[in-house]
Structure 1
Amino acid sequence: MSTAAERYLQAAKRESTTRRYQQALAHYEVGWGGFLPASSDSIVRYLAENAELSISTLRGHLAALARWHQNHGFADPTKAPQVRDVLRGIQALHPRQVRQADPLQLQELEQCVTALQREEASPDLSVRLRAGRDRALLLLGFWRGFRSDDLCRLRIETNRLLPGEGLSLFLSSSKTDREHQGRTVSVPALKRLCPVQAYEDWLALSQLQAGPVFCSIDRWGHLAPTALHPYSVSRVLRRALTRGGVAGERYSGHSLRRGFATWATRNQWSPKDLMEYVGWRDVHTAMRYVDANEPFGDWRRAGTSESK
C-alpha cells in the first residue's frame, strides 16, 4: 500500500476513537489475560468477570474487539447471541444511574466572567493572558453549546470576525460529523456576556493571527503553538470557575453544553431550534442535556428558579 493511501486511511480514523480502542484491547489482553482472535465463549467470560464496569464501557470494549477481528479477517465473536444476552443480564442486575455533568448556570457564568475581567487588568502578563483565554473559552463554549473537542479544533484563519455584529466559526470535524465535511456556525454579538467581544479581546491580547484559538499558557506567559487537548478543557474550566468564587469541582467540559441547553429550554427555544443550533441529530440525545423546568408556579419557593 502506498504511503499516500496509508495517510488517507489514517486520516479517516478519529484519534480519540483509535486511542479508546487501543486501551480497550490492552484491557482485554493485558488486564484480563485474553487472547486474540477471541471466541464468543471467552468474550462472555470477559464480560461476566468485568461486570463492575459501566455498560457504556463494556459496549466500547466490544466495539474495539469487533473492529480488531474485522480488520484482521476473522469472524466477529461479539455478534454471538450469548454475548448480547450476557450484556443485557449485566445491565439488568447492575443498573447504574447515568452520571452527567452539572449544567453551568447563567448566574455562575456571569460571576466567573466578572472575576476574569478583573484579572485581565493584572500587571502580570501570564495572568492577563490566562484570564482572556478563559473568558473567551467559557463564553464561546456556553453560547454555542460546544463540546470540548469543538473548542480545541477552532482555528483563527478559518474564522471570520465582524466586531460588534457576530462571529463565523468553522468546525473542520466533530463527533457527529462522520464524513468530515465540516460545518460553519455563527455566534451572535450579545448585550452582555458577549462571546464575540471576548473572542475579539482575546485575539487583541494574545496577538494571535493564525493557528489554534485556544492553547496552553505557561507561567511566563508563553503561548504553546498547539491547541489545548480536549481533556484539558475541564481543568481550565474548573480553575477559572474556582478563581471566580464558584465551586469548580462540580463541573466538566460538558457543563457548558448542558448549561446552554438548559438556558435555551427555559427561554422557550423549541426542541427543533435547539437541535439545529447545537448540532444534535436526534431528540433523545438533546433531552439528556436539558434539565426540565417543572411548572410548579406559585408553589415553588422564592429564590429557587433560574434567572433568564
Structure 2
Amino acid sequence: MNRSALNSRREELYSQGVIQHYLQSPQRNLPALPYEVCIYLAECYACGNVRLLKSKLLAIGRWHTENGFPDPTECRSVIQLTQLIRALTELKANALQPPPTISDVKCITDVLQQYFHPTGATPQTLTFHQKLACRNRAIWLIAFWFGLSTSDVCRLRTRDVHLDQNSLTITTKWIDDQSEAKFSFRLTCLPVICPVSALEVWLKNSNGPVDYLFPRTTRKSLVGPISSRSVHAYVKRLIAATPGASANTSDQHYSLYFF
C-alpha cells in the first residue's frame, strides 16, 4: 500500500470514528441539521473535547456529501460557533500560561550565550548552531523588553528598526477591524540581558539581513522571516539539554517595559 492510499485509509477510519462518536447520543441522528451540529459542538466544548475540532467537522461534512445530503457544517451558524469556540479555547490556554519572568529570560539567554561564543568570531567562522543561538537570543530579548510576541519580532523588517549607539527604536503596526496604526517603542541600553547589544551582535554576525531582520536560515529557497515556532522549539530543546536549566518558554505577550 503506497503512502497516498495509506493516508486515505487513515482518513476513512478517523471519519468513521467521528461518526460513531457523534451517534453515541440517542438524541443525535444522521443526516443532521445545522442546529444539531451546533449542539454537538457546544457539548464538545463543555466537556473540554475541542481537540481536532476542524477534523471532526470535516468528517461530518464528508458523510453528508458522500451520502447525497446537504453539508450542515457549511452553515453560517456552525461556522460562527466554531470560530467562537476556537477563540475561547485560545483565551483559556493563554490564561493558563503565565508570561516568562525576568528570571526565565535571564536563564534562557544565559543558555543561548553558552552555545554562542562571539570572541574572535566572524560570520564566516561561526557554525550553524552558533548563528541560531545568536539570532534566537536577540529575538527573545527584543520580545521580552518591547512587549511583543516572538512572532511579531520574527516578522520585523530592517526598515522597522532604528539602532544607534545607545538605544533601539522599533516601529510596529497595530491592525484591528476598523483601522491601522503605527506605534514606535524606544529602549536604551541595559546593564544586563540587553536587547540593544544582542541585536548589534546578531547584525554583526548575520551577513547583513536585507529585508527581514531575522530571515530564514534553513530553507533559503523560501523568502521570508523565520517562524516563531522554530524559535520556540530550538529554545525548548536547549533548555531540556542543559543540566540545571529550568525556565518558562511560553510565548511573550507581556513585558516589564510597560509596567
TM-score range, shorter chain: 0.5 to 0.7
Contact 1:136 1:199 in 2 (8 A): yes
Q: Which amino acid aligns with 1:100?
A: L
Contact 2:141 2:193 in 1 (8 A): yes
1:142 aligned to 141, 144, 151, which one? 144
Alpha-carbon separation, structure 2, partners of 1:97 and 1:195: 28
Whether 2:109 is the aligned partner of 1:113: answer yes
**TM-fit CA distance, 1:107:** 2.9
Contact 2:99 2:251 in 1 (8 A): no
Q: TM-score, normalised by structure 2?
A: 0.59
Whether 2:35 is the aligned partner of 1:43: answer no
**Number of the residue aligned with 1:194:** 194
Alpha-carbon separation, structure 2, partners of 1:128 and 1:98: 31
**TM-fit CA distance, 1:150:** 1.0
Contact 1:237 1:253 in 2 (8 A): no
Q: 1:138 to 1:31 in 2, by over 3 A?
A: same
Q: Which amino acid aligns with 1:77?
A: S
**Matched residue of 1:217: which SS?**
coil
Alpha-carbon separation, structure 2, partners of 1:218 and 1:76: 41
Contact 1:154 1:213 in 2 (8 A): yes
Whether 2:207 is the aligned partner of 1:207: answer yes
**Number of the residue aligned with 1:252:** 250
Alpha-carbon separation, structure 1, partners of 2:108 and 2:36: 53
**Matched residue of 1:182: which SS?**
strand
**Matched residue of 2:224: which SS?**
strand
Contact 1:153 1:172 in 2 (8 A): no
Whether 2:100 is the aligned partner of 1:104: answer yes
Between structure 1 and structure 2, the one with the greater Rg is 2
**Matched residue of 1:172: which SS?**
strand
**Matched residue of 1:251: which SS?**
coil
Contact 2:158 2:211 in 1 (8 A): yes
The 5 Å alignment of 1:1-308 reads 39-49=34-44, 51-53=46-48, 76-77=76-77, 100-121=96-117, 124-164=126-166, 166-173=167-174, 179-218=179-218, 225-242=223-240, 245-247=244-246, 250-254=248-252, 257-258=253-254, 260-261=255-256, 274=259
Q: 1:131 to 1:78 in 2, by over 3 A?
A: closer
Contact 1:102 1:251 in 2 (8 A): no
Q: Percent identity?
A: 19
Contact 1:163 1:200 in 2 (8 A): no
Alpha-carbon separation, structure 2, partners of 1:31 and 1:182: 46
Q: 1:234 to 1:106 in 2, by over 3 A?
A: same
Q: 1:101 to 1:232 in 2, by over 3 A?
A: farther
Contact 2:136 2:231 in 1 (8 A): no
**TM-fit CA distance, 1:211:** 1.8
Q: TM-score, normalised by structure 1?
A: 0.51
**TM-fit CA distance, 1:237:** 3.2
Where does structure 1 lack aligned partners over 5 or more consecutive residues? 1-29, 62-73, 265-272, 275-308
Where does structure 2 lack aligned partners over 5 or more consecutive residues? 1-16, 23-28, 57-73, 119-124
**TM-fit CA distance, 1:238:** 1.8
Deviations 1:88-127 (A, max 9, x none): xxx9xxxx89752243232342233234334322764213
